[in-house]
Structure 1
Amino acid sequence: MQELFRNPTFLKLFLATFTSQLGNVVGNMAFAYYMVDRFSNQPSLASMAELMYSLPTLAVFWIVGVVADRFDRKHIATYSDWIRALLTLLLLLFVHYDVLFMCFLILFLRSSISKFFGPAEMGLLQGSIGQDQYVHASGLIQIISGVFMLFGLSLGATAYHFIGIEGAIIVDLCSFLLSGFLLAWAKFPEQARMPNGKNRVRDLRFSLVIKDFWQGLQYIIHNRLLLILISGFMFFGIVNGVFSVLPIFSMKYKLSPDQYVVHSSLVTVFMGIGFLIGSILGPILIRRYTRTPILITCLFLASLFLAGLGLVPRVELYFVIILLAGIAIAPINIALGSWLPELVPPQNMGRVNSLIEPVMMLGHSLALGTISLAFPVWINVTWLHLTLAICTVAVSFFYWRSLPGLVRKTTAPATAEQATP
């Protein structure tokens, strides 16, 4: 891991990813508090703001991967940050004058532009480090996610309380500018920046975009190991969708009706601590036992912990088990996140990576739609947990039946090729 931080390119990319996520988290959380505080008699507006963060996925997912594979990934990531900084400046103006419709429009545009950052950043990461460093790099990125899961809500609340919504938006603005400058100063290899050679924007036609998108989709379909791995990302979408409301529902309707606000926030804290611990242990376990057994075992353990969450009678036990669940889930993310760069060639990385989020969003939407229809008429809090546990153990069983044989088939040719000389 020390070798990664001795690499100045990776260090700048890591810091740029951190500051870019900081810009997303602080402002979004503070804006949620602002909406609840400013329009307390219209709670639907807070839901509308949340929708402005999720809808852009469906609007631009078909083009972001094509752009990341055809143009300079360094420029894409850099300008993604700087354009969001400009939009954030406009958001500051519209919040100051209380123009709510324009605030929602800016949030939608800012979230749309942010979708171009991920595929470009993944491609730059793939081309800037060695293949043997993917696991540690994925672990470090998971640590960033754990930190923001742990402190994101608190950062937004603190910023809103002490410097107000306008101050929080200024923090966003500075974070995006700094992230863009870090990327602009970094020296990425030419192959990482433009794996398909130089292309001009004027040559990007709608028919070409559809053709490239279809080629990326076909690449996934024809690579069975990759297809099975990506199909598992729907599970993460389901988990994200359920967990976006499950802590509040568990405390409000079962464990702590009188103090559900405080206790549901603590659930996020304990989950974040578990993610941090799991992100540290994950690379060590994967190096020791390889990805496949760690992925299957952690999914099975996570299903046991999720079932336990639905059965516990006390808040304290819920905190302990959610921490253990976080420890189990983090290595799953690391195993999948570090596997993709090994399976996908650099020239297709953007298109493949851009298809992951729609799969997760599909699971996310299915989960929330089911909860909206079934809770609390047909299912209660306990059955929400148990249903999630059943889904998780089903994915574990699916991977157990399919992955080991596919991995052996995939690695056998490489092993034979090494033995031939």
Structure 2
Amino acid sequence: MELFTNANFTKMFLASFASQLGTVVGNMAFAFYLLDRFGSQPYYATVAELMYALPTMFVFWFVGVLADRLDRKRIAANSDWIRAGLTLLLLIAVHENWLVLSFAILFLRSAVAKFFAPAEMGLLQGIMTEEQYVQAAGLNQTVMGLFMVFGMGLGAATYHYLGIEGAVIIDGISFLVSGILVSRCAFTQEVRLPNGKIKPGELGMRRIFADFFAGWTYMKGNKLLLAIISGFFVFGAVNGMFAVLPLFTMKYKLSPAHYQAYSALITLFLGIDFLCGSAAGATLIKTFSKVKVLVAGLLLAGGLTLLLGATSNIWVFLSLVLVIGAILAPVNVVLGGWIPELVEASKMGRVSAWIEPLMMLAQSLALGFVALVFPLWVSVDVLYVLLGICVLLVGLYYALVLPALTRDEKRKTAA
């Protein structure tokens, strides 16, 4: 692949892969540790998940600003170094069974991790051509698919053979490897500091808030970008509902006695989908167009999601999940490759800082809604209907607004 002829891209890709690998192994092993050590208190595993998610709501308003104003390479590398240090503290806390301290360290480590992605995205955008954005998005989806296929098994095997301490050590080593790779990258000054150097004291709270809301102003000024990102709120709600619905379907409808095994099978199917669908994504976009792949994928996925609640056969359900995952993978490739095309390099951090909290808010609201209404007022079948309608609505919204906005954007670019 042409992307790997770029030494900086190769190092950043390997750094991201190492970091994600360690995180997946560590997080899964920690979940197994909590369930083994505190089997009568399963809410501890839920608390751990919150420690991974909650930091977003505390740091989202300034991580993107810092990625645009400070040295992106240093931010990414320091994020790895700090997480490696915190992982050493986590190892001590786990060894001594200090659970509260372990949760606090997980929270801090997750908060530090939020600084990595905007900096990484900005660095990668600066070393790729527009034609390579889709390739990179497809590659990221492929890696995600690999972790979905093998992540749970790697975590389980590591915990079984090495214990929680061994898993945490692997987690820490992955951050060290990632930090070394990022440090060895040779980026130009323009890529590292797209807005130039700032003097000490210039980046106060007033400046940070002004820059953060400047990201919103920038998105409002680009109608196509704003239209695409508006759909991310619905995607967040879909992610939240789909995070629990397959498990509920197996537990309360299709296979109460073997729901754990079938839930793992769903994850395996989705991982295979991401691998296959991501490989086909770039080809589909070239053959058709971003808008057609995006709209057709969402409409097809929404229609098939409605069928998930209607089936009572476990293998029909799994087959539908397999097809839906394969359809959605190219949709993710479109979105992952399109955003960098529309955003100036100097604004990427501030724009990306709006996306994750938007999705996280919707995901939290969706999970709260499910917790309130299921199973007291609605069945799992009704939840699938609501989920399918959400996907169909965002597909119809994109079908109505994106074609005209895309034509306008092409005219502006040509002018």
TM range (shorter): over 0.9
Amino acid at match of 2:101: M
Give a deviation string over 1:109-154, Cα, whole Å, max 9, x none: 0000000011001101100111111110110011111111222222
Amino acid at match of 2:110: S
> For residues 232-251 of structure 1, what are the structure 2 equivalents within 5 Å?
232-251=231-250
Match in the other structure for 1:12 = 11
Give a deviation string over 1:239-283, Cα, whole Å, max 9, x none: 221122112101001110110011111111101111111111111
Amino acid at match of 2:108: L
> For residues 244-393 of structure 1, what are the structure 2 equivalents within 5 Å?
244-393=243-392
In 1, distance between residues paired with 2:239 and 2:304?
A: 16
Amino acid at match of 2:346: Q
Q: 1:87 deviation in Å?
A: 0.4
Amino acid at match of 2:320: I
Match in the other structure for 2:405 = 406
Amino acid at match of 2:162: I
Change (3 A) 1:316 1:200: farther
Q: 1:200 deviation in Å?
A: 4.4
Match in the other structure for 2:112 = 113
Match in the other structure for 1:222 = 221
Root-mean-square deviation (CA), in Å? 1.1
**2:238–2:390 Cα contact (<8 Å) kept:** no
Give a deviation string over 1:350-406, Cα, whole Å, max 9, x none: 010111100110110111011011101221111111111000000000000100000
Paired residues in the alignment total 415
Give a deviation string over 1:51-110, Cα, whole Å, max 9, x none: 101100000000100100001111111111111010001000000011111101100000
In 2, distance between residues paired with 1:259 and 1:40?
A: 18
Match in the other structure for 2:193 = 194
In 1, distance between residues paired with 2:183 and 2:200?
A: 20
In 1, distance between residues paired with 2:200 and 2:97?
A: 37
TM-score by length of 1: 0.97
- Please, which moves more after superposition, 242-251 or 388-397? 242-251
In 2, distance between residues paired with 1:310 and 1:275?
A: 23
In 2, distance between residues paired with 1:49 and 1:116?
A: 20
Q: 1:229 deviation in Å?
A: 0.7
- Please, which moves more after superposition, 218-227 or 164-173? 218-227
Match in the other structure for 2:72 = 73
Match in the other structure for 1:45 = 44
In 2, distance between residues paired with 1:180 and 1:50?
A: 25
> For residues 105-184 of structure 1, what are the structure 2 equivalents within 5 Å?
105-184=104-183
The runs of 5 or more residues in structure 2 that have no matched partner are: none
**1:128–1:189 Cα contact (<8 Å) kept:** no
> For residues 89-104 of structure 1, what are the structure 2 equivalents within 5 Å?
89-104=88-103
Match in the other structure for 2:396 = 397
In 2, distance between residues paired with 1:310 and 1:401?
A: 28
Match in the other structure for 2:59 = 60
Amino acid at match of 2:242: F
Match in the other structure for 2:208 = 209
Amino acid at match of 2:88: L
TM-score by length of 2: 0.98
